[in-house]
Amino acid sequence: MGLTLTQKIIARAAGVTSVAPGEIVTCRVDLAMMHDSGGPRRVGPMLERLGAKVWDPSKVVVIADHYVPAIDADSAAILDLTRKWVKAAGITRFHDMQGICHVVLPERGHLRPGLFAVGGDSHSPTAGAFGCFMFGVGATEMAGVLVTGAIWLRVPQEHSVRWDGRLTTGVVAKDMVLAMCRTISLNGIKYGVVEYAGEAIAALSMSERMVLTNMTAELGAQTGIIAPDRTTVAYLAEVGVDAPDAITWQSDADSTPFKRWAFDATSLEPQIAAPHSPANSAPAREHRGTAIDQCYIGACTGAKLSDLHMAAEILKGRKVAPGTRLLVAPASTRITAIAAADGTLATLAEAGAILLPSGCGACAGLGAGLLAENEVCLSSTARNFKGRMGAASALVYLGSPYSVAAAAVAGHIVDPRELLAEQAAA
Amino acid sequence: MSARSNFGRAFVYGDDITTDALAPGAYMKKPVEEMASHCLEAIDPNFAKAVRAGDVVVGGENFGMGSSREQAAIALRQLGVNAVVAKSFAGLFFRNAVNVGLAPLVCAEADRIRPGDELSVEPVVGRIENLTTGEIYTCEPIPPHLLDMIRDGGLLPHLEKKLRKTAR
């Protein structure tokens, strides 16, 4: 029987020819990524206690994205510690306030297909869009990796998720993943791995594929992965990654998944997840009229260039409704620069959007944009768990950047296709 | 340490208890004592005040869903909780719990435990005695490759021991 893409990466990292689901293996880590929250301030004292050094500084990437920019003495101290530790540890791949780790990693050319990587953040599965096997770990586990260069793993069960058909206008990857959360549930994958395939997946841009692998975390998976294709190769070339073997990282035709899931893209409508779970999703029209205090476009999940373009498409020539506020935190400084050059930021600003720094911000319960008691928010982020974005009584809905921008204009939830149709007719 | 048997009262919660509830983001930059005093406040404002050393947190499915922040497990340890019993755990939380010396016990009968029940928990053998009802529950065995780490009290003490051996 053949191997899946995931099993091939794990076997290579474990130094064996084949692995089977359930098997416990120890893998050599190709790349370890950590950020300012779970990184140096946590692992530094642990390494000191062990009297150990980073096993290979060239394999470590550190990204300051959580407490950026500093808003008080505590966050300033965390960033200061991060910068000093990185320098002392001899780590050169350090991105300070350049954007959110999961977006900066591919953007700055740190990812290539076949990589076995760990990240000190639960949305590390994002890298799976580039054919990497990358999963999230806590700080103690990261300290273990930094000391030994290795990590144990139970080879995950393979879940094949197929999306047939083609998405229609106004329906995007975020809608796909919210529909999956409902069908599969937040515990449905039980720490297995999801490999996405099908016509609708092949048609997605890298930026949209990242939304799927990013929120694979919300399906209870260890990680998600998409086999490299021409789109992947073109992206890698664009960011200057030389990966001649990229396309060879594929599942064997005779590999068998543990479970198969099938979805239809053509019939999918824009989705909205109601509080307090991404699995609590339904077609946007079912929530039509729900008044929104804050619209938030941000985070690794929902503020990439394509996300800002979606928002601008809706907001062009329109204004944010009185009584509603629209906050936009582009996912990286590179994205901000491109969006400034191509006119996207001007469109957002003219509509009345408030631009925030690139960082995890309100999505992680930090920085600007937290919610007051009983406020209602529609967000392009990944999680709407109780209390995550501010007050425990706040109500957070999740939707695509199209849906968030449309609600900002209407002042309440609408199916964004209503506004897109008006634009088309005008 | 989590390997020891443990005696305490049950604090019972439902499915999908999140890391945001266990370690709220707003307190992640604060010292562990302060962060832990807000543990679970979004779903039970009384928990951190009421819980005592040895008490046991009981959940349903997918306990510890969400973030990679191991402070979710550390907050419970800080409050004196040494074991969490649940029908299932989020994979990332399970690893973090073992790493910081909190025993995650998978127990199909977790839903038989009522708030305030007195429990005697033996993590390594995976046996829970409900002293209030007289019931005995069997947990899934801790994977053998993790037993040493549990016995050592977590990944750091485990690594410390290993590094000392290598140095000798």
Q: Provide the pLDDT for residue B168.
A: 64
What value does the mean pLDDT take over residues A364-391?
A: 95
User: Does A288 lie in the same domain as A391?
Assistant: yes
Q: Which of A203, A234, A264 is the last residue of a domain?
A: A264
Note whether A262 contacts B: Cβ–Cβ < 8 A. Answer: no
Domains and CATH numbers, chain B: 6-167 (3.20.19.10)
Does residue A406 contact residue A416 with C-beta atoms inside 8 Å? yes
Residues sharing a CB contact under 8 Å with residue A411, sequence separation 6 or more, in sequence order: A291, A292, A321, A322, A323, A324
C-alpha closest to that of A59 among A100, A96, A89: A89
B65 to A220: CB separation less than 8 angstroms, yes or no: yes
In this structure, are residues A238 and A102 in contact, taking their beta carbons and an 8 Å threshold? no
pLDDT digits (tens, 9 = 90+) for B97-125: 999 999 999 999 999 999 999 999 998 89
CA distance B44 to B38: 10
The per-residue pLDDT for B1 is 43
Q: Name the residue range of residue A172's domain.
A: 5-264
pLDDT tens per residue across span A94-104:
999 999 999 99
CATH number of the domain where residue A253 is located: 3.30.499.10
Same domain for A389 and A336: yes
Let me know whether A144 and A253 are in one domain.
Answer: yes
Signed CA dihedral, A92, A98, A100, A105: sign only: negative
Chain B partners within 8 Å of A139 (Cβ): 70
Task: Give yes or no for residue B2 having a pLDDT over 70.
Answer: no
Domain boundary among the residues A264, A289, A321 is at: A264
Best of B68, B148, B149 to substitute, by most chain A Cβ atoms within 10 angstroms, is B68
Q: Which of A247, A264, A281 is the last residue of a domain?
A: A264
Q: Examine the domain organization and report whether A116 and A243 are in the same domain.
A: yes
Tell me: do A249 and A277 sit in the same domain: no
Q: Same domain, yes or no, for A176 and A297?
A: no
* Residue A154 and residue A53 share a domain: yes
The two beta strands, A150-154 and A158-164, are unpaired
pLDDT digits (tens, 9 = 90+) for A272-284: 999 999 999 999 9
Longest Cα pair distance anywhere in chain A, in angstroms? Answer: 67
pLDDT value, residue A157: 98
**Per-residue pLDDT, B4:** 63
- Own/partner pairs, A232-241, CB within 8 angstroms, 24+ separation: A232/A113, A232/A130, A232/A131, A232/A206, A235/A106, A235/A130, A235/A206, A236/A109, A236/A112, A236/A130, A239/A106, A239/A107, A239/A108, A239/A109, A240/A109, A241/A109, A241/A111, A241/A112
B99: helix, coil or strand? helix
Residues A363 and A225 in one domain: no
Establish if B96 touches chain A: CB-CB under 8 angstroms: yes
A326 and A228 in a common domain? no
Q: Do A255 and A283 fall into the same domain? A: no
Q: Averaged over B8-14, what is the pLDDT? A: 97
C-alpha span between B85 and B87 (Å, rounded) = 7
**What is the residue type of B60?**
G
Whether residues A421 and A339 share a domain: the answer is: yes
ipTM: 0.95
Q: Is B165 an 8 Å CB contact of chain A?
A: no
Tell me if B159 and A75 make a contact (CB, 8 A cut-off): no
**Is A37 in Cβ contact with B69 (below 8 Å)?**
yes
Shared domain check, A66 and A174: yes
Q: What is the domain count for chain A?
A: 2
Give A189-223 pLDDT, tens digit per residue: 999 999 999 999 999 999 999 999 999 999 999 99
Closest in B25, B41, B95 to A141, CB measured: B95
